[in-house]
Amino acid sequence: MARVVRQQGARFRAAPLARHISYLEREGVTRDGRDASMFDAGGDAADRDAFAARCEDDRHHFRLIVSPEDAADLGYLRSFTRDLMTGHGRDLHTRLDWVAVDHWNTDNPHIHILVRGVTDDGADLVIDRGYIASGIRGRAESLVTLELGPRSEIDMQSALAREVDAERWTSLDVRLQRLTDEASGVIDLRPAANEDRHMHGLLVGRAGRLEQMGLAERQGAGLWSLKAGAEQALREVAVRGDIIKTMHRALSRGGGASIPPRLHFTTARPRPRSWAGWSSGGCMTNSSAPPTRSSMALTGAPITSASTTWR
């Protein structure tokens, strides 16, 4: 997830930054089960109060969530985060002032990153929407691939199979959306000659799952249409699912009453992923390159500011 959060003006709606930092530390645990704590470019004991104070008079700050799919294999997420933010700073031609915390108490280990909305010369930091759409993800994917190597065919097929029933926006959904756009609103998954049968089966399975979730409607044999707002709903569900699982674990540890760990859809309404085609300043992949590791989940509602639209 990538958000720009205003701290001044009529659009100021978010909780104070210091309170948000406290929440991030309180609700997370490290890989070895210790309470979460903030880190930054300089070390593992960031001064969260000093960071909040530096941000106090800024017009805005940025909130990122990076969720490497292969987090368990990366070893040390904090080193990964430092390399990632150094790369972003090079792309944006400024030294970024940031703090972060890694959470290991959900099904998807992830890093929350808070970035000051100010460049190193004191100007407002404005990030191009194209960089938000692809550059952040592209650099993260490149780092994961550099450390773990390109994905094997087995890795990719296993990941795609898991996406069929996933309660988040997936690469299969991106393919279905593309088919929708190409066919004026109807996804045509009727059998055809010379098609990839494995991928066809995955897409049919995913379309059926979206239909069960109330996010797609069957139009006939092998025909579906996506409902308006399906992508947004799946992004929101991914966020709520992690929150509910976190609450469930906390209540279980404290002896409280249990709550259902999963969401059930009544009406409906993730995550785009790709192994190719992402680009950013200084970081590019293309369809002829080895498949990169999917390395970033973008979840949550798009937030629009006067300067940047975040997706």
Q: What is the CATH number of the domain that holds 46?
A: 3.30.930
Q: What is the pLDDT of residue 72?
A: 62
What's the farthest any 2 CA atoms get from each other in the chain?
63
Whether residues 107 and 10 fall in one domain? yes
Identify whether the C-beta of residue 215 lies closer than 8 Å to the C-beta of residue 75: no
Whether residues 142 and 10 fall in one domain? yes
pTM of the full structure? 0.55
Whether residues 93 and 35 fall in one domain? yes
Whether residues 133 and 177 fall in one domain? no
Whether residues 102 and 167 fall in one domain? no
Please indicate, yes or no, if residue 301 is contained in any of the structural domains.
Answer: no
Whether residues 21 and 142 fall in one domain? yes
Whether residues 178 and 217 fall in one domain? yes
Q: What is the pLDDT of residue 157?
A: 83
Please indicate, yes or no, if residue 289 is contained in any of the structural domains.
Answer: no
Identify whether the C-beta of residue 99 lies closer than 8 Å to the C-beta of residue 21: yes
How far, rounded to the nearest angstrom, does the alpha carbon of residue 93 sit from its chain's CA centroid? 24
Please indicate, yes or no, if residue 46 is contained in any of the structural domains.
Answer: yes
Question: What domain range is 210 assigned to?
Answer: 159-273
Please indicate, yes or no, if residue 153 is contained in any of the structural domains.
Answer: no
Q: Identify the H or E element spanning 187.
A: strand 187-188
Please indicate, yes or no, if residue 171 is contained in any of the structural domains.
Answer: yes
Q: DSSP labels for 74-93?
A: HS-HHHHHHHHHHHHHHHHT
Whether residues 163 and 139 fall in one domain? no
Q: How far is CA 90 from CA 14, 52, 93, 231, 281, in A?
A: 29, 24, 5, 32, 8
Whether residues 200 and 142 fall in one domain? no
Whether residues 177 and 99 fall in one domain? no
Whether residues 135 and 167 fall in one domain? no
Please indicate, yes or no, if residue 266 is contained in any of the structural domains.
Answer: yes
Let me know how long the chain is. 311
Whether residues 97 and 170 fall in one domain? no
Q: What is the pLDDT of residue 103?
A: 82
Please indicate, yes or no, if residue 282 is contained in any of the structural domains.
Answer: no
Find, among 75, 124, 133, the residue nearest to 104 by Cα.
Answer: 75
Q: What is the mean pLDDT of each run of 10 residues along the chain (311 residues)?
A: 72 70 73 76 90 91 81 74 91 94 76 92 89 79 72 76 89 91 90 88 95 94 93 79 56 50 41 31 36 42 32 31
Please indicate, yes or no, if residue 91 is contained in any of the structural domains.
Answer: yes
Q: What is the pLDDT of residue 269?
A: 39
- As for how many domains the chain has, the answer is 2
